[in-house]
Amino acid sequence: MIKTGSQILWECLEQQGVTTVFGYPGGAILPAYDALKYSNIHHVLVRHEQGATHMADGYARASGRVGVAIATSGPGATNMVTGIATAMLDSSPIVCITGQVGSKLIGSDAFQETDITGVTLPITKHNYLVTHADQVARTISEAFYVASSGRPGPVLVDITKDAQQSTCEFDGKPVTPQLPGYRPDLSPTPDEYKQALDLIHSAKRPVILAGHGIILSGAMQEVRTFAERNNIPVGLTLLGLGGFPASHPLSLGMMGMHGEAWLNTTIQEADLLIALGMRFDDRVTGNLKTYAPNAKKIHIEIDRAEINKNVKVDVALVGDLRAVLRELLPKVKSQDRHEWLAYIDRMKGDVAVRDIQNLPDNGHLYAAHVINDIWRETLGSDTIIATDVGQHQMWEAQYFKHEEPRTLITSGGLGTMGFALPAAIGVKAARPEAEVWAIVGDGGFQMTMAELATMVQEKLKVNIAIINNGYLGMVRQWQEFFYDRNYEATPLLSPNFVKQADAYGIRSVAVTQRSEVVPTVQATRKHSGPVLIDFQVEQEDSVYPMVAAGASLHEMIRRPNPLEETAADA
């Protein structure tokens, strides 16, 4: 049957199982939008193309399916760049479709022409320029395959206007990708397995460091079995949270710059690191020269280019984490590590004294209280949190205890402010039955708050908790610690968020007292529509502990011990 490139595009997206796309129309993508009438795919109209990419990203992270964003050429495409880079750094499978000027006009600086395949080359896993209808089917099939296989990532497909309009024969059959050079499925050698097992069995003080790879490969059960059988404690990266239950006795929480003090110390004192689907980011390692100085290192990772990139390892098992662990598990012996685990437990006791949760109530509202209360109230229900970037993000990681994978959606690698609201909208579109919260700072929220209208237009119930401290809080914290409290450009004026929400027809309330938090959260959950809560919290609170950039992992700035402080005051 003869069809246009646009018709083929939507049919191929349907073949890939796509039900929802996030986009914004414009001249060069209009033929594709016109053909949407032949398709059952639901189009979510965003307010800015960056929002479309974050929504597709949130959709992908919450569901494990590929998220799709669509935009026009030129500014539409360049507005996607931040969202694409966000997905790239966090290995999130999204496909971005952009219109392009007619193929005859390419290179002529035509109206709304941008070389978007050139622009996105270093921030996509792969990208395509499609100039004729007969390339559409193969390209879409390859784009989805590349985005979702191996180490996932964003793929951009730029389709010229004439490719959308021209016609070709299309039989509707799925097209097999032809990618002779693409090898997403490497696996380790038997010898490498043996070396890894020897290190595991001879270790006295091992620790598992698990990242996003657990969730991406679906290896939650395998990691748990591995840890339990060999009694190895498990630390997680920010993106690994939820990959191993926070309530598990072997769970040590989050590692790194704002990680748990006991875990950072554990890493520094360990004699074996078992890194699972993580990439030794600088926010996780601190100073590489002093990182885990006594530890042998095993790295199980799907991306060979990550091996020995930041941390030199003793054994590397390159392959899909779940498949590698399944191969490894039958040979892992049961070991008792009573002394090592008891030692770590003792460190936890010392830390609890400094925890803000255990401080006497001074009448102030702290972000940690808010987040901890949201966690308590939603405990046991199907709840997904999307966070923005900054202090509230770290407090969420510390005080919201994630038990299940894909329940924390956050921009880790790129640290993209403005991520939370659009990502939460994407999450809700993917998982309508789940309770979805966007936890945002007053700074990040203002970067993409235009998407409130998208949320309302789509009738999606996303609960928005603004952790409003009147500052760009994390930057202020750095200024406090490292720039002599010179609060340059960090005090932040915000609109009246309650009135703003009202203008969108969103129920909203401001909270200033600790006693109001729980009742407000309860009322928010009961309300059928979206709710925005403006939590006006302590303005100059800091996230502890903190490993300064470039410092060693065990050199942490700690929250002052309240007992010592009281003694000093007296």
Partner 1 sequence: MLNTFVVYVENKPGVLTRVASLFRRRAFNIDSLTVGRTEKPEVSRMTIVVDADRDQAMRVEANLYKLVNVLFVENITGKAAISRDLAMIKVAATHDARSHVLELANVFRARVVDLAPESLTIEITGGEDKIDGLLEVLRPYGVLEMVRTGIVAMRRGGKSEAAIASVPAGSGAEPATPDDNVSYSV
Residue ranges that bind partner 1, judged by CB under 8 A = 117-118, 121-122, 125-126, 129, 146, 177, 179-187, 303-305, 307-309, 312
CB 281: neighbour CB atoms within 10 A?
Answer: 17
15 is annotated as an active-site residue: no
Q: Would you say 532 and 467 are in contact if contact means Cβ atoms under 8 Å apart?
A: no
Catalytic residue among 80, 417, 474, 556: 474
Closest alpha carbon to 537 in 417, 440, 419: 440
Query: Based on CB atoms, which residue is closest to partner 1, 181 or 330?
Result: 181
Q: How far is the CB of 200 from partner 1 (least distance, A)?
A: 24
Q: How far is the CB of 152 from partner 1 (least distance, A)?
A: 13
Q: Would you say 532 and 508 are in contact if contact means Cβ atoms under 8 Å apart?
A: yes
Query: Based on CB atoms, which residue is closest to partner 1, 122 or 380?
Result: 122
Q: Does residue 491 sit in helix, strand or coil?
A: strand
Distance CA 121, CA 488 (A): 35
Q: How far is the CB of 385 from partner 1 (least distance, A)?
A: 32
Q: How far is the CB of 122 from partner 1 (least distance, A)?
A: 5
Distance CA 276, CA 298 (A): 8
Closest alpha carbon to 241 in 345, 395, 427: 395
Q: How far is the CB of 15 from partner 1 (least distance, A)?
A: 20
Query: Based on CB atoms, which residue is closest to partner 1, 180 or 349?
Result: 180
**Encoded tokens for 497:** 């968020």
Contacts made by residues 507-514, CB under 8 angstroms, sequence distance 24+:
507/531, 507/532, 508/532, 508/533, 508/534, 509/533, 509/534, 510/534, 510/536, 511/365, 511/370, 511/535, 511/536, 512/365, 512/536, 513/363, 513/365, 514/361, 514/363, 514/364, 514/365, 514/366, 514/369
Q: How far is the CB of 326 from partner 1 (least distance, A)?
A: 17
112 is annotated as an active-site residue: yes
Q: How far is the CB of 104 from partner 1 (least distance, A)?
A: 16
Query: Based on CB atoms, which residue is closest to partner 1, 186 or 509?
Result: 186
Closest alpha carbon to 92 in 238, 181, 213: 213
All residues at 6 or more sequence positions from 171 whose CB lies less than 8 Å from its CB, including other chains: 1
User: 């309009």: which residue's tokens?
Assistant: 165
Query: Based on CB atoms, which residue is closest to partner 1, 303 or 403?
Result: 303
CB 27: neighbour CB atoms within 10 A?
Answer: 15
Distance CA 156, CA 95 (A): 6
Distance CA 209, CA 230 (A): 14
Q: How far is the CB of 130 from partner 1 (least distance, A)?
A: 12
546 is annotated as an active-site residue: no
**Encoded tokens for 411:** 């921009």
Catalytic residue among 7, 16, 22, 49: 49
Q: How far is the CB of 384 from partner 1 (least distance, A)?
A: 31
Catalytic residue among 104, 111, 204, 564: 111
Distance CA 414, CA 330 (A): 37
Distance CA 58, CA 278 (A): 20
Closest alpha carbon to 364 in 114, 555, 540, 176: 540
Distance CA 397, CA 50 (A): 24
Catalytic residue among 15, 112, 165, 457: 112
Query: Based on CB atoms, which residue is closest to partner 1, 121 or 489?
Result: 121
Q: Does residue 8 sit in helix, strand or coil?
A: helix
Query: Based on CB atoms, which residue is closest to partner 1, 201 or 312?
Result: 312
Query: Based on CB atoms, which residue is closest to partner 1, 162 or 301?
Result: 301
All residues at 6 or more sequence positions from 341 whose CB lies less than 8 Å from its CB, including other chains: 231, 233, 250
Query: Based on CB atoms, which residue is closest to partner 1, 184 or 529?
Result: 184
**Encoded tokens for 448:** 């993409």
Catalytic residue among 88, 113, 125, 161: 161
Q: How far is the CB of 129 from partner 1 (least distance, A)?
A: 8
Catalytic residues: 49, 111-112, 161, 474
